[in-house]
Copies of this chain bind each other. A is one copy, B any other.
Amino acid sequence: MVHQATTSAPVNIACIKYWGKRDTKLILPTNSSLSVTLDQDHLRSTTTSRADPEFTKDRLWLNGNEEEIKPGSRTHTCIAELKALRKTTVEDKNSSAPKLSTYHVHISSYNNFPTAAGLASSASGFAALVSSLAALYELPVSPKDLSIIARQGSGSACRSLFGGYVAWEEGSASDGSDSYAVQVATESHWPGIHALICVVNDAKKGTSSTSGMQRTVETSALLQHRIKEVVPKRMADISKAIQEKDFDTFARITMADSNQFHAVALDTTPPIFYMNDVSRGVIAVIEEYNRAAGKIKAAYTFDAGPNAVIYAPEENLKEIIQLIVKFFPQQAEFKDPFALFGGKLEGRVPEGFNENVTKVWEAGSVKGLIHTKVGGGPRVLGKEEALLDGNGLPNERVKRKWDL
């Protein structure tokens, strides 16, 4: 009998940003955060885990390339925690259950988006890893419990254990037992929130978020004020906005918190910059779009890189895509997953829009656009989606071209 499970897990993009750890080993954050889970129909990590008494060691492949699982590494921690849960919650309680916790595992993971897209794959990757092992081990635990494990792989991964609108509560316990993800609202509560990811060309590799956030903790004179005074109120306010489907408030807080995250990064010694001139151009376009409309029709947010994510109600997406394409001409064809354009996408600006807020950028400055929406949590997939072959090695599926 083959002991194997395959799951997929989504990407999430935060509205209230996580920036700073109070415990770097357990990955306990200095403030709570909140994100929107994006639809796995468009962006996902898929992972197959297999336990076999014949395996001689734990092994992991990402997109077909083996990655060493170093003792004490984050991946090692997640696997060890899940094996321990298999033992205590399954094998110790049912002596007939196979002793999977004593077998080595082979894990094969695949992201359906190119690393070059600059989208953080660690969140969906660790969420898929944790959910596939949890499925393999048939663990009788909640997504919340799994989020505590995923958190130790990559902080923001804990939020990818749920669909919809998800908070990561910072917690206060020193062992991290109360620092987990909770679902603020399901994707079906407020399904009309769409996202346009603007993949921005960037020559320069920025500061890694892991090292960058700790430099901010150590040197920013503003971060503690953000943590203590600003974020708690924003968490409460944006949660309420989500409950009430109040896009205006949701958008205002999202933009302000993105800007404040980049502000504390800049208030770091040496300063950290993630946005570049193209990112600033996207901000200028969205700010003018809202101004010209006399109301908030879209919100931008930027993670630790130059890419923009634009959140907006579904009905505005056509206008927004035309607007972005106007100022950031596309070289690549726009995959139009919601069939808004029937192949005829041309740039245009809405009435009253002041075109002088930025220039028309060189084609390829925004090198790709991905249209997606709020979506669900991890999925357990069928055997036909498995990423390991009969020998427990990555199969052909991990060599698929990115299917963006």
Q: Which residue numbers of A lie inside 8 Å of B, CB to CB?
A: 203-204, 221-222, 225-226, 229-230, 252, 255-256, 259-260, 262-264, 266-271, 273, 276-277, 280, 283, 287, 358-359
- A358 pairs with B225, CB closer than 8 A: no
- B267 pairs with A273, CB closer than 8 A: no
Residues of B within 8 A of A277 (CB): 276-277
- Ranked nearest first, the 5 interchain pairs of A and B with the lowest CB-CB distance are A225-B225, A263-B263, A263-B267, A263-B266, A270-B287
- B260 pairs with A222, CB closer than 8 A: yes
Listed by A's residue number, 21 A-B pairs whose Cβ atoms lie within 8 Å are: A203-B359, A204-B358, A221-B226, A221-B230, A222-B222, A222-B225, A222-B263, A252-B269, A256-B267, A256-B269, A259-B266, A259-B267, A260-B267, A263-B263, A263-B264, A270-B283, A270-B287, A271-B283, A273-B280, A276-B277, A276-B280
Partner of A222, one of B203, B226, B252: B226
Q: Shortest distance in angstroms between A207's beta carbon and chain B's nearest beta carbon?
A: 11
Q: How far is the CA of A255 from the CA of B269 in the complex (A)?
A: 8
Q: How far is the CA of A230 from the CA of B264 in the complex (A)?
A: 14
Partner of A221, one of B256, B268, B280: B256
**A288 closest partner in B (C-beta):** B270
Q: Shortest distance in angstroms between A315's beta carbon and chain B's nearest beta carbon?
A: 23
Q: How far is the CA of A25 from the CA of B203 in the complex (A)?
A: 46
Q: How far is the CA of A287 from the CA of B271 in the complex (A)?
A: 9
Extra contacts besides A222-B264, A225-B225 (12): CB < 8 Å: A221-B226, A221-B230, A222-B226, A222-B230, A225-B229, A255-B269, A259-B268, A259-B271, A262-B266, A270-B287, A276-B280, A277-B277
Residues of B within 8 A of A359 (CB): 203-204
Q: With contacts A221-B256, A222-B222 known, is A266 near B266, CB below 8 A?
A: yes
Residues of B within 8 A of A269 (CB): 252, 255-256, 259
Q: Shortest distance in angstroms between A387's beta carbon and chain B's nearest beta carbon?
A: 36
Q: How far is the CA of A44 from the CA of B256 in the complex (A)?
A: 40
Q: Shortest distance in angstroms between A270's beta carbon and chain B's nearest beta carbon?
A: 4
Residues of B within 8 A of A266 (CB): 259-260, 262-263, 266
Residues of B within 8 A of A280 (CB): 273, 276
Q: Shortest distance in angstroms between A163's beta carbon and chain B's nearest beta carbon?
A: 30
Most buried by B among A225, A263, A264: A263
Q: Shortest distance in angstroms between A96's beta carbon and chain B's nearest beta carbon?
A: 58
Q: Shortest distance in angstroms between A76's beta carbon and chain B's nearest beta carbon?
A: 32
